[in-house]
């Protein structure tokens, strides 16, 4: 009963028992994307199926284990020159999915792996949806994170399917939805368990099982044994009734808009357009809604915000690869020195991937605190039902806490996270090298000390590397790896491999004071201190930095980093890099440290931190200090330009290998505004010439901290020069 027709490249189908099984498999990629050729083949297939009276139903399934359809092909949008072109793309998608929605035979989407963006829009146009409970199965509309909106009917179908509030939540956050939740929400009709090994590998077996169940569902739908319509529960009915009131809906639109404005400061156009499309569809009908959807999609694709966010997406993908080859040895045993916030965080993300980890500290108190931090991190996941208590305990079993060097003779890598003091680091490196095997890598987690100075104490500098994690380690995605000219390629490959295993996005930069991230941040913070000295209060400063799109304000960030650390770094970098790092008076920070205002960790910094109080109060002691250090608008650009100039200088000096890693490091490590896409993307879109002009103006007022670096000047002179193509 099976017949296979004309072989196609991206999709094929066979008829099994009266059901056409359409299998998608992009031969050129690990994931399926909704590309032009796929769409063309799909349209052909559907026409054939609809023209074949023997076909009673259809199943849409992917042959790839981890991906149903991961979204629309971004290159397709990238290639468009105008908003109108993109709008046309959107309309083509809309048309295709409308046809599917109106299909005379039931089409069952059998989802295993990522079903995102255009893939999800495809699935929700089908009559019935099955999803596997595999860990890889996620559903979602992440378009908003790329500065776009679901442009193939998503803004119109989702509100009808899930209700307005749930649809807004899904489209505005872009969050991934797990199968269980999707079933509860009504996004899928039926769940299928993933299988273990049987007569085939688990992946193959699961896909085949899904197909069998889906064929059954298609047959049952065709002969009316299975109905798509579900009895609505009381809550659902009630909600529908309330949503039927135009007044209530208006309230919702207003409320959501207000919330979006609060969170985005109006810097991101996409969420507002999503609200507009939903509203148009509901209030004026689907035709008007679809038109709004396609036009807005086209316009959004041309915005600098979308360009920036898409750039970050590509950059992030690029920074999740190991460009240094596979290391000679896998790191199976890792040791972390120092059970502080950083050390424990590193241990947590390592045991989480089932790597045996030793956490060593010098005191019982420190060790206990660190182990509790790891436990708490895992237990919080248990509470959120992300893992079971059993998985938590198994994961914890990979951690060994100790005060001595027992077991270090088995270590493949040691990451030290001890106090930021060169002498301490030298002492540690000598102690460790006495006990570790010859192949073991010594990584140092420092935020500013030059690695070659640390490595000076080593007998084997080729095995020494910097791994700069960001706090809190389990939440921050970035890892900055720093190599010296002596670090071997294999050492780098190994460090990158470990970082990737820990789930990090990685940039690999050259050695120098403050490397890349710390250096850029220090330049900006120096300016922030000057701004504070000028009489702009911490709250105002935070409002201004957040207004740029930074997730945390300048003053609050200094508190998070630690005023003592900031003072330390500012002084060190000032010494190493000269007056360029001037601006704010380091004495401000030093006085704060003397008074015990070390930031959040000491309870007082720029702000006063009280438990349970959400609204931070400005620390009156700091206001006093600032008065004693007395020294306009444009504050935002002063902060930004110092950050950006330092980034470009890092590229010029070869600390940074390329602009992509510069953008990724700034956004994921330091919270550089994602809507600007990173310092290099910002220069491209803002214009190097305009930036240089502004800087020259500041230079006249404030001095050489604002002197643009040569590379920036080059770009200003020649408008054809761009960091990103």
Partner 1 sequence: TIYFLSKTLAKPNVKNIVLVDGVRTPFLLSGTSYSDLMPHDLGRGALQGLLNRTGVPKEIVDHIIYGIVIQEVKTSNVAREAALGAGFSDKTPAHTVTMACISSNQAMTSAVGLIAAGQCDVVVAGGVEFMSDVPIRHSRKMRKTMLSLNKAKTLGQRLSLLGSIRMGHLMPELPAVAEFSTAESMGHSADRLAAAFGVTRVEQDEYALRSHRLAKKAQDEGLLSDIISFQVPGKNIISADNGIRPTSMEQMGKLKPAFVKPHGTVTAANSSFLTDGASAVLIMSEEKALALGYKPKAYLRDFVYVSQDPKDQLLLGPTYATPKVLEKSGLTMEDIDVFEFHEAFAGQIVANLKAMDSDWFAQNCMGRKSKVGVPPMEKFNTWGGSLSLGHPFAATGCRLVTTVAHRLQKEGGQYGVVAACAAGGQVFLPKYTYAQLARADTEYSRGATVQVFLVHSFGLFSVHVLCMKMTMCKSVQKHF
Query: Which residues pair with residue 334 across a beta bridge?
Result: 357, 413
Cα distances from 429 to residues 153, 425, 459, 460, 647, in angstroms, run 59, 6, 9, 10, 31
48 or 216: CB nearest partner 1: 216
31 or 205: CB nearest partner 1: 205
201 or 710: CB nearest partner 1: 201
**Coil vs helix vs strand at 55:** coil
414 close to 432: Cβ distance less than 8 angstroms? yes
Residues listed for the chain: 725
Residue with tokens 């099976």, as numbered in its chain: 2
Nearest to 167 by CA among 148, 180, 154: 154
Provide, rounded to whole angstroms, the least separation between the CB of residue 227 and partner 1: 12
Residue with tokens 């004693």, as numbered in its chain: 628
Cα distances from 707 to residues 151, 642, 678, 703, 704, in angstroms, run 44, 9, 20, 8, 5
Residue with tokens 């895992």, as numbered in its chain: 378
Cα distances from 592 to residues 532, 536, 573, 617, 657, in angstroms, run 13, 17, 19, 16, 37
216 or 560: CB nearest partner 1: 216
* Residues 6+ positions from 499 with CB-CB distance below 8 Å: 467, 479, 481, 506
Whole-angstrom Cα distance, residue 711 to residue 534? 30
Provide, rounded to whole angstroms, the least separation between the CB of residue 17 and partner 1: 14
Residues that bind partner 1 (CB under 8 A): 190, 192-202, 205, 208-209, 213, 216-217, 388, 390
Provide, rounded to whole angstroms, the least separation between the CB of residue 108 and partner 1: 12
* Residues 6+ positions from 634 with CB-CB distance below 8 Å: 694, 698
Provide, rounded to whole angstroms, the least separation between the CB of residue 209 and partner 1: 5
* Residues 6+ positions from 425 with CB-CB distance below 8 Å: 416, 418, 444, 446, 449, 454, 457
Catalytic residue among 211, 276, 420, 480: 480
Provide, rounded to whole angstroms, the least separation between the CB of residue 205 and partner 1: 5
189 or 642: CB nearest partner 1: 189
Cα distances from 220 to residues 101, 161, 223, in angstroms, run 18, 22, 5
Torsion-angle region of 384 (φ positive above 0: left; ψ -120 to 50: alpha; else: beta): alpha
Establish whether 480 is a catalytic residue: yes
End-to-end CA distance of the chain, in Å?
52
Provide, rounded to whole angstroms, the least separation between the CB of residue 127 and partner 1: 17
Torsion-angle region of 434 (φ positive above 0: left; ψ -120 to 50: alpha; else: beta): alpha
Provide, rounded to whole angstroms, the least separation between the CB of residue 128 and partner 1: 13
Provide, rounded to whole angstroms, the least separation between the CB of residue 198 and partner 1: 3
> Positive or negative, the Cα torsion across 209, 174, 33, 286?
positive
Return the exposure string of 143-153: e unless at least 16 CB atoms fall within 10 Å of the residue's CB, then b: bbbbbbbbbbb
263 or 394: CB nearest partner 1: 394
480 close to 468: Cβ distance less than 8 angstroms? yes
Provide, rounded to whole angstroms, the least separation between the CB of residue 220 and partner 1: 9
106 or 159: CB nearest partner 1: 106
Whole-angstrom Cα distance, residue 513 to residue 673? 24
Query: In 269-303, which ranges are continuous DSSP H helix?
Result: 269-284, 286-301
Whole-angstrom Cα distance, residue 649 to residue 589? 25
Provide, rounded to whole angstroms, the least separation between the CB of residue 136 and partner 1: 16
Q: Which residues are catalytic?
A: 480
């Amino acid at each position: 009963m099976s017949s296979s027709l004309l072989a196609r490249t991206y999709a094929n189908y066979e008829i099994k028992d009266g059901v056409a099984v359409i299998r998608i498999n992009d031969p050129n990629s690990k994931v399926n994307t909704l590309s032009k050729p796929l769409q063309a083949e799909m349209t052909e297939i559907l026409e054939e199926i609809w023209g074949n009276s023997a076909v009673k139903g259809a199943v849409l399934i992917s042959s790839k284990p981890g991906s149903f359809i991961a979204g629309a092909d971004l290159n397709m949008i990238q290639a468009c020159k105008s908003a109108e072109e993109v709008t046309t793309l959107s309309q083509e998608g809309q048309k295709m999915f409308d046809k599917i929605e109106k299909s005379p035979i039931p089409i069952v989407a059998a989802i295993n792996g990522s079903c995102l963006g255009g893939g999800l829009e495809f699935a929700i146009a089908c009559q019935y949806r099955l999803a596997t409970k595999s860990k890889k199965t996620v559903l979602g509309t992440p378009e908003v994170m790329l500065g776009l909106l679901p442009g193939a009917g998503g803004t119109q179908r989702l509100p009808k399917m899930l209700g307005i509030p749930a649809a807004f939540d899904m489209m505005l956050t872009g969050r991934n939805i797990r199968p269980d939740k999707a079933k509860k929400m009504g996004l899928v009709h039926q769940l299928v368990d993933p299988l273990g090994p049987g007569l085939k590998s688990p992946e193959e077996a699961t896909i085949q099982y899904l197909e069998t169940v889906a064929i059954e569902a298609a047959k049952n739908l065709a002969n009316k044994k299975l109905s798509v319509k579900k009895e609505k529960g009381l809550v659902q009915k009630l909600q529908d009734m309330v949503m039927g009131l135009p007044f209530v809906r208006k309230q919702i639109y207003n409320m959501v808009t207000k919330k979006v404005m609060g969170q985005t400061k109006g810097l991101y156009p996409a969420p507002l357009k999503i609200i507009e499309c939903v509203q148009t569809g509901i209030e004026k009908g689907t035709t008007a809604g679809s038109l709004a959807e396609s036009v807005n999609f086209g316009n959004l694709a041309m915005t600098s915000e979308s360009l920036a966010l898409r750039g970050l997406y590509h950059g992030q993908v690029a920074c999740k690869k190991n460009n240094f080859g596979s290391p000679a040895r896998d790191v199976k045993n890792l040791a972390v020195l120092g059970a502080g916030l950083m050390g424990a965080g590193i241990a947590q993300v390592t045991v989480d991937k089932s790597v045996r980890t030793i956490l060593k500290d010098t005191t019982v108190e420190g060790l206990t605190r660190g182990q509790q931090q790891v436990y708490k991190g895992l237990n919080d996941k248990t509470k959120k039902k992300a893992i079971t208590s059993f998985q938590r305990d198994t994961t914890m079993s990979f951690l060994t806490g100790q005060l001595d060097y027992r077991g270090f003779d088995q270590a493949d890598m040691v990451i030290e996270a001890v106090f930021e003091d060169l002498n301490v680091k030298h002492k540690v490196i000598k102690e460790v090298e006495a006990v570790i095997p010859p192949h073991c890598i010594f990584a140092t987690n420092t935020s500013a000390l030059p690695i070659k100075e640390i490595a000076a104490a080593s007998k084997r500098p080729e095995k020494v590397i910097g791994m700069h994690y960001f706090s809190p380690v389990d939440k921050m995605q970035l890892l900055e790896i720093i190599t010296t000219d002596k670090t071997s390629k294999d050492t780098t490959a190994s460090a990158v491999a470990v970082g990737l295993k820990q789930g990090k996005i990685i940039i690999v930069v050259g050695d120098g004071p403050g490397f890349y991230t710390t250096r850029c941040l220090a330049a900006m913070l120096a300016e922030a201190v000057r701004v504070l000295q000028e009489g702009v209060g911490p709250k105002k400063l935070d409002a201004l930095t957040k207004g740029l799109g930074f997730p945390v304000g300048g003053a609050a960030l200094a508190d998070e980093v630690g005023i003592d650390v900031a003072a330390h770094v500012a002084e060190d970098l000032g010494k190493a890099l000269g007056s360029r790092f001037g601006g704010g008076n380091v004495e401000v920070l030093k006085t704060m440290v003397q008074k015990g205002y070390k930031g959040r960790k000491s309870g007082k910094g720029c702000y006063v931190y009280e438990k349970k109080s959400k609204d931070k109060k400005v620390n009156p002691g700091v206001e006093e200090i600032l008065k004693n250090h007395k020294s306009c608008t444009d504050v935002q650009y002063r902060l930004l330009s110092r950050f950006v100039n330092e980034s470009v200088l890092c590229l010029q000096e070869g600390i940074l290998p390329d602009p992509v890693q510069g953008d990724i490091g700034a956004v994921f490590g330091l919270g550089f505004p994602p809507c600007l896409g990173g310092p290099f993307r910002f220069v491209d879109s803002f214009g190097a010439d305009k930036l240089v002009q502004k800087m020259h103006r500041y230079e006249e007022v404030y001095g050489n901290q604002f002197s643009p670096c040569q590379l920036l000047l080059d770009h200003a002179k020649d408008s054809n020069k761009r960091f990103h193509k």
